[in-house]
Amino acid sequence: MNMDRNGNSQETGYEQTHAERHKLMLRDIIKLAGSDKLVCNIGLSSFDKLAVNYLGDRYYCAVPNVEFLKSVDQLYISEQNIIYYDITKNNPEPNSKFDLVIISETLEHIFADDEIVMRSIANLLRPNGIIYLTVPNAARHINRIKLLFGKNIFWSKYDILNGGYGHIREYTVIEVKSMLEKYFDVRQIYGFNPYGSKLIRISLNLLPTSWRSTIVAIGMKRS
């Protein structure tokens, strides 16, 4: 269900910027979810609008609390498909378990130990459940070039403290693999470059995975 609390149905700048990333994610999610798996996305985003069109009532979102939900201007799924589960805490057993949990472009914003986050996600999954993770690559091509010319690749403290959207941490392929391995069997790690013109995307996707803009990792929960 697509619900716009502001009566505004126009595509946002965020949606336009991330349209290609969302398209690539949706391709993966549809394949992983099959025809019967329950899917939970950590957080709320415009990706929900795409996912719910294909997955319907099998698609849920997890938010930390009611206050977080009240702060959201636009909601793309039914509130009945929202669960309250804070992945930054040591949670009790959740009321719902899922076959697939998505955490995309979220981990880099979270002020919490990554091990706690991974454990919380594993706790949300059924046996043999799948985690689908995407994070920005700290070692992406543009950052390597910036460092070569002495430029700072980190977000400013102002953006992190006042903007509410700064990346407090970005990751490398090696770090992602190590982070997942404690709770998951890593099945696949790859990268893509979803930003810029089609020609730019095609060119950048010729680079090795460790140079690409976004890291994608898929893992299966350990028994």
pLDDT tens, 159-211?
888 766 678 999 999 999 999 999 999 999 999 999 888 999 999 989 999 99
Query: Does residue 78 lie within any of the structural domains?
Result: yes
The H or E element containing residue 212 is none
Q: Which domain holds residue 68?
A: 12-138+167-221
- Residue 7, in any domain of the structure: no
pTM summary value = 0.90
* pLDDT, position 4: 40
Instruction: Give the chain's residues under pLDDT 50.
Output: 1-10
CATH number at residue 200: 3.40.50.150
Per the structure, the count of domains in the chain is 1
The Cα 61–Cα 68 span in angstroms is 12
Collapsing DSSP to helix, strand or coil, 158 comes out as helix
Distance between CA 14 and CA 16 in Å, rounded? 5
Beta-carbon count within 10 A of 149 CB: 6
